[in-house]
Amino acid sequence: MAGARFDTLIVGCGTAGAILAARLSEDPGRTVGVVEAGRDYPAIDALPAGVRSHRSSRGLVTSLNDPDILGFPDWGLTVHSNPLQPSVPLPRGKIVGGSSSINGGVFFRTLREDLDEWSLANPDWTYDACLPYFVRLETDHDFDGAYHGAHGPIPVNRAKPDQWVPLNHAFHAACVALGFPNCPDFNAPDAWGVGPVPVFNPTCPNCNCCMTRSACCASRVNRSIRQPRRSGCSRIRASIH
At 155, which CATH number? 1.10.1220.110
Q: What is the mean pLDDT of the chain?
A: 79
Please indicate, yes or no, whether residues 23 and 73 belong to a single structural domain of this protein. yes
Task: Classify residue 171: in a domain, yes or no.
Answer: yes
User: What residue numbers bound the domain in which 57 lies?
Assistant: 8-104+207-231
Distance CA 209, CA 93 (A): 12
Higher pLDDT, 80 or 126: 126
Does residue 241 sit within a domain?
Answer: no
pTM: 0.69
Quick one: 183 and 111 in the same domain? yes
Q: Mean pLDDT over residues 110-136, rounded?
A: 93
Sequence-distant (6+) residues with CB within 8 A of 100 are: 14, 15, 18, 93, 208, 209, 210
Residues 153 and 219 grouped into a single domain: no
Residue-wise pLDDT tens digits, 86-104: 888 787 888 888 888 777 7
Nearest residue to 105 via CA among 25, 211, 202, 31: 202
- Residue 95 and residue 112 share a domain: no
Helix (H) or strand (E) holding 32: strand 32-35
Average pLDDT over residues 157-168: 93
Same domain, 113 and 195: yes
The secondary structure of residue 73, as a DSSP letter, is -
The predicted structure's pLDDT at residue 110: 92
Same domain membership, residue 93 and residue 149: no
Identify whether residues 174 and 118 lie together within a single domain: yes
Amino acid 67: pLDDT: 56
For residues 116 and 176, membership in a common domain is answered with yes
pLDDT band at 202 (very low <50, low <70, confident <90, very high): very low
Tell me, yes or no, whether 239 lies in a domain: no
The band of 3, judged by pLDDT with boundaries at 50, 70 and 90, is: low
User: Among 133, 132, 104, which Cα is nearest to 197's?
Assistant: 104
* Residue 179 within any structural domain of the chain: yes
Q: What pLDDT shows up at residue 103?
A: 77
Output the pLDDT for position 138: 92
Please report which helix (H) or strand (E) contains residue 128, including its range: helix 127-137
Could you give the number of structural domains in the chain?
2
Which pLDDT does position 51 carry in this prediction?
Answer: 72
Q: What percent of the chain has pLDDT over 90?
A: 35
- The arithmetic mean of pLDDT across residues 217-237, rounded, is 53
Higher pLDDT, 49 or 125: 125
Q: Could you tell me if residue 58 is inside a domain?
A: yes
Q: What is the pLDDT of residues 43-89, one digit of tens each?
A: 777 777 667 665 444 444 445 555 555 567 778 888 888 889 888 87
- Residue 2 domain-assigned (yes or no): no
127 and 59 in a common domain = no
Looking at the structure, tell me whether residues 81 and 26 fall in a common domain.
yes
